[in-house]
Amino acid sequence: MLTKPLSAITAETMGSCNVTAALNVDGGMVVVSPITGEIVATLDEHGVADADAAIVKANEAFRGWRLVPAPRRGELVRLFAEELRKSKDELGRMVSIEAGKSPSEGLGEVQEMIDICDFAVGLSRQLYGLTIATERPGHRMMETWHPLGVVGIITAFNFPCAPWCWNAALALVCGDPVLWKPSEKTPLTALACQAVLERAIARFGDAPEGLSQVLVGGPELGAALVDSPKVALISATGSTRMGRIVGPKVAARFGKCILELGGNNAGIVCPSADMDMALRAIAFGAMGTAGQRCTTMRRLFVHESVYDQLVPALCKAYASVTVGNPLETQALVGPLIDAAAFEGMQAALKEADALGGTVHGGQREPVEGEKAYYVKPALVEMPEQAGPVLRETFAPILYVMKYSDFDEVLELHNDVGGGLSSSIFTTDLREMETFLSARGSDCGIANVNIGTSGAEIGGAFGGEKETGGGRESGSDAWRAYMRRATNTINYSSELPLAQGVVFDI
Ligand code: UN1
């Protein structure tokens, strides 16, 4: 059991982020830590009227911020990265308390924030447009990128801060104010991040008021952002179910959307794979963060020639993995977020069992009492890809299947709704390149000899099909936060028309 009540640790952590005012014993919103199931804070919730006012304020901020030169906007993000470095331990602990992650995973999430800020600072001097050859003499044609408008960011419990920062750091250098609706399960991390950003804003000096705001409360706040024509871009992370609601609503008002939804990520282990490396990569990919990453490995196809070598070794790793309180022990696997996650996991295991699956693990572990949900991760040997294997269950379940033919396994790999992340374990050049080719993995992320999770910020993050199609973070994801104008300038004394059209008056 914890040596100190989690609510006390929370108050200390929040205190060092200068947001103790947010902890309000009379408030309406209850924050529970999955580590113990204990209430660690109660908060005042925002209402829809607050959301509407925040949208107005953010649009006022946009009028000024869009005129600030991009490298100067980058200076704010540089200061934010400095403040994040100073507050890394407190923020990492807050992530652990609210999402149940191990200290190294909590700190890793804050590191992603620091990394994307550094990336965005460099980007603030590289928001390039093209100069394009024009067909008309004495003309010049170019593309210009302008700030887009207010960006609404909706985030999920499992990564309570990094996805916000992937969006916010880019949006801020691109000239866009941000409005953040965090998960109801992790509002404290959001308030702490906002407090840290406010320190950077104070040091920056002349940022407009309302440049970054947080809305704490229920789904009606997200709906207010989604429905408002004054929110130019909605970037939403969450379930495919949520995306099916958000996507059409934003499209109906011709708004822009970045959707980062569910995945059903798979690995393929080929005969030539480095088995020890594959084992370690699969163990982290499938059991890390208690299976609660959108990039978690959920399906594994193992070639029949190595199945009897790899799968018993994996079962051993599953049996011996440490499950426990992430703040008080060195456990690799922490709690599930809540009772509903546990029930969803048990229902999926029951279904797999009825379809002829052999379930290893998956049982509840008696850690921290009745109100916390710790489980032994489950490995399920399945005769075929059916039932629960075809969908994402947000819990540590790895469905393992045997394959014999490479072309067939590629088909099976892609034959699910999700299209986020994928891995192949092989030292065979042909298999590797085929997996990465047009007829290979159809996911937004396709890896070789590493697991499905733990992407770096430098690449574009997101995926296809039911994953929603959006891209966040690195590469050229910044373009989604700006609007593109094509400018054609006539510096001649003639007026030639394009396509040779004649219109003499
Ligand atoms: C998520 O689970 O929503 O690739 C994000 C990863 C992390 C991000 C996960 N960098 O696992």
- State the alpha helices, DSSP H only, in 25-155: 48-65, 70-86, 88-99, 103-123
pLDDT band at residue 97, thresholds of 50, 70 and 90?
very high
Mean pLDDT to the nearest integer, 252-258: 98
Mean pLDDT to the nearest integer, 310-325: 98
Which two three-digit tokens encode residue 150?
């207010």
Which two three-digit tokens encode residue 234?
């909605």
Q: Is the pLDDT of residue 20 over 60?
A: no
Which two three-digit tokens encode residue 211?
């440049």
User: Hey, what CATH topology would domain 48-261+468-486 get?
Assistant: Aldehyde Dehydrogenase; Chain A, domain 1 (3.40.605)
- Every domain of the chain with CATH number 3.40.605.10 lies at 48-261+468-486
Q: Is the pLDDT of residue 169 over 50?
A: yes
- Give DSSP secondary structure letters for 30-63: EEE-TTT--EEEEEPPP-HHHHHHHHHHHHHHHH
Q: Give me the chain's average pLDDT, please.
A: 96
Q: Is the pLDDT of residue 3 over 80?
A: no
Binding site membership of 150 for ligand 1 (Cβ less than 6 Å):
no
- State the alpha helices, DSSP H only, in 124-177: 162-174
pLDDT at 175: 98
Mean pLDDT to the nearest integer, 24-46: 87
- State the alpha helices, DSSP H only, in 177-265: 187-204, 219-227, 240-252
- Every domain of the chain with CATH number 3.40.309.10 lies at 265-457
Which two three-digit tokens encode residue 483?
């609007």
343 flagged as catalytic: no
101 Cα distance to chain centroid: 15
Q: Are 237 and 163 in contact (CB under 8 A)?
A: yes
Phi, psi angle pair for 211, to nearest 5°: -65, -35
ipTM above 0.85, yes or no: yes
Atom of ligand 1 nearest to the CA of 293: 2
Q: Is the pLDDT of residue 11 over 90?
A: no
Q: How far is the CA of 238 from the centre of ligand 1 (A)?
A: 12
Atom of ligand 1 nearest to the CA of 292: 2
Options 75, 260, 431, 466, the catalytic residue: 260
pLDDT at 176: 99
The predicted-structure confidence for 266-299, as pLDDT tens digits, reads as follows 999 999 999 999 999 999 999 999 999 999 999 9
Q: How far is the CA of 456 from the centre of ligand 1 (A)?
A: 9
Q: Is the pLDDT of residue 502 over 60?
A: yes
Q: How far is the CA of 233 from the centre of ligand 1 (A)?
A: 21
> Which of 116, 294, 422 should be mutated for ligand 1, with most atoms under 8 A from CB?
294
- Sequence-ordered list of residues with C-beta below 8 angstroms from that of 455, at least 6 positions apart, any chain: 295, 421, 445, 461, 473
pLDDT at 27: 62
Mean pLDDT to the nearest integer, 22-38: 80
> Which of 337, 461, 467 should be mutated for ligand 1, with most atoms under 8 A from CB?
461
Min mean pLDDT across 12-26, 108-122, 274-288, 453-467 is at 12-26
Question: Given the DSSP bridges, would you call strands 421-425 and 265-269 parallel, antiparallel or unpaired?
Answer: parallel
**What is the Cα–Cα distance from 337 to 158, expressed in whole angstroms?**
8
Min mean pLDDT across 10-14, 89-93, 97-101 is at 10-14
**What is the Cα–Cα distance from 389 to 85, expressed in whole angstroms?**
40
Within 10 Å of residue 340's Cβ, how many Cβ atoms?
Answer: 11
pLDDT band at residue 162, thresholds of 50, 70 and 90?
very high
pLDDT at 25: 47
Structural element, H or E, at residue 210: none
CATH class of residue range 265-457: alpha beta
Identity of residue 55: I
